[in-house]
Every structure is written in structure tokens, then in C-alpha cells.
Amino acid sequence: MRAGLAVTNLVLAAGIVASGAPHVLADFRRLPAEATVSAVDLSLPVDQAEIDAALPVLESAARTSVHAHGKRAFVLLAASTGENADERAAEAALEFRTYLAGVPGDARAWAGLAQAEIIAGDQTAGREALKMSILTSPSLLPLVLWRCALAIDLYPVLDQEARPLVEQQFRLAADNRTESLVRLVAQRRALMLARIMLTDSPDSMAKFEARWARR
């Protein structure tokens, strides 16, 4: 991955110079971490050493760029596994909140905040972040399955405002990502929950059940 990092840095440097971006300093500070950030964004495996190297670079860039807070948050979230998962997740949540204070319309970051809060142990905060993600971009298909997974984790604390929002996400997933939803539900052993969420959507329920029967 190190060779790819060098190529990525050169390409990004050329792009920054050519565009005359207003936050040139922050962009250059962030260059050594961009390959790791890109891998995290694509859900590719990243070595712990690469994460550890990227975090201080992004911290430095965050002094002059709110977007670096968002990138650092996702890297911290990717690192929120194992023994210190809750600590990394709590730090990720802080970074997400800093970023979202400046960019409140980023539905993906709200979903990231929801996941960070869940790992950190605050389901109520996770629920509120999930609601914001859905309200910000309710029909954004690339986020639908992630939101359904978050809703499974948050089911015990879903309130009257969150419930219909989550039901909408399950309906969208059943209609547009049927096979992936079936796979998620099977992995999470959440068949009863999925059926509850689809109860008021007979057509979506039928698509889900037909695919479930063939799994």
C-alpha cells in the first residue's frame, strides 16, 4: 500500500496546485494520510500501523480544515475495534460532532456518528444521530443498509420519531437492495425485527420474504 500512497500523494499535490484550493496548507498537511482515508472510505482493510500514522497527520490538518475532522473521525471509527474500541469511538464521536457543526448536511457523517456513539456505549446519542442522517438525506440508497444495521443495534431505544424513519429505510432496502438486506438480517439474526419494520409495507414485505425463502 506504500507505493500506492506515494502515487496518491503526487496526484493530490498536482491537483491542489492546479486548482489553487483555498485551504492549501491543510491539504498538504493531509497528503500522507489520504491513501488511508481513501481505503477507509471504500471499506478496504487498513493496517493498524497505517491508521496510527494517519491520525496525527489528520489532527494537524484539522487545525485549519473542518473537513479534516470528518476524515479523522472516519479513520478513528475504522480503528474502533478490539480492546480500546470504546475510547477510539468516543474520540471519533467528538471529531464527527466538530465536523458536523460546520457541515451539518453530511448524512454519511451523521451515520458515522451514530455508529461511533453505539460503540462508545451511548445508544440514545446514537439514535439521535441516526435520525439526523435519515432526515438529512432520507432516500440516499448507499446509506440505506448501514442505517438498517444501525437500527438493529438501536432497536431497544427507537422512539416514536425514529420508528417511522427506520421503517422507511427497511422499505427502501427491501425494494432496492433486497438481497443485501436479506444477507444483513441473516447475519444479525434479526428476521423478526425486519418483519416488524416491514409490516406496514406489504409489497416490500413480499419482496423481502420471497428472497428470504431462497437464501
Residue 39 C-beta-side C-alpha neighbours within 13 Å:
22
Domain count, the chain: 2
**Quick one: how many helices (H) and strands (E) in the chain?**
13, 0
Helix (H, G, I), strand (E, B) or coil at 198: coil
Residue 139 C-beta-side C-alpha neighbours within 13 Å:
2
Share of the chain above pLDDT 70, in %: 85
Residues 6 and 89 in one domain: yes
Residues 56 and 132 in one domain: no
Residues 143 and 214 in one domain: yes
Q: For 115-154, how does the pLDDT look when each residue is reduced to its tens digit (9 = 90+)?
A: 999 999 999 999 999 999 999 999 999 999 999 999 999 9
Q: For 69-122, how does the pLDDT look when each residue is reduced to its tens digit (9 = 90+)?
A: 999 999 999 999 988 899 999 999 999 999 999 999 999 999 999 999 999 999
Domain boundary pick from 70, 103, 136:
103
**Backbone region of residue 158 per phi and psi (left: phi > 0; alpha: psi in -120 to 50; beta: other values):** beta
Residues 97 and 2 in one domain: yes
Residues 98 and 134 in one domain: no
Residues 51 and 135 in one domain: no
Inform me whether the pLDDT recorded for 11 exceeds 60: no
Whole-prediction pTM: 0.84
Task: Report the pLDDT value the prediction gives residue 16, as an integer from 0 to 100.
Answer: 46
> Is 16 a domain residue?
yes
Task: Report the pLDDT value the prediction gives residue 17, as an integer from 0 to 100.
Answer: 47
With cell 490538518, the residue in question is: 61
> Is 187 a domain residue?
yes
For residue 92, which of 120, 64, 127 has the smallest C-alpha distance?
A: 120
Instruction: Tell me the pLDDT band of 185, cut-offs 50, 70 and 90.
Output: very high
Task: Report the pLDDT value the prediction gives residue 14, as an integer from 0 to 100.
Answer: 52
CA distance 115 to 147: 9
Residues 4 and 72 in one domain: yes
> Is 116 a domain residue?
no
Alpha-carbon dihedral sign for residues 31, 37, 42, 48: positive
CA distance 191 to 163: 17
> Is 121 a domain residue?
no
Task: Report the pLDDT value the prediction gives residue 23, as an integer from 0 to 100.
Answer: 56
Average pLDDT, the chain: 89
> Is 195 a domain residue?
yes
Residues 99 and 1 in one domain: yes
Residues 2 and 87 in one domain: yes
Task: Report the pLDDT value the prediction gives residue 159, as an integer from 0 to 100.
Answer: 97
Domain span at 179: 127-215
Residues 59 and 132 in one domain: no
> Is 179 a domain residue?
yes
The CA-atom distances, in angstroms, between 16 and each of 25, 28, 71 are 10, 8, 17
Task: Report the pLDDT value the prediction gives residue 87, as an integer from 0 to 100.
Answer: 95
Q: For 22-60, how does the pLDDT look when each residue is reduced to its tens digit (9 = 90+)?
A: 555 555 555 667 888 888 988 888 888 888 888 999 998
> Is 193 a domain residue?
yes
Tell me how far the alpha carbon of residue 168 is from its chain's centroid. Answer: 19
Residues 89 and 165 in one domain: no
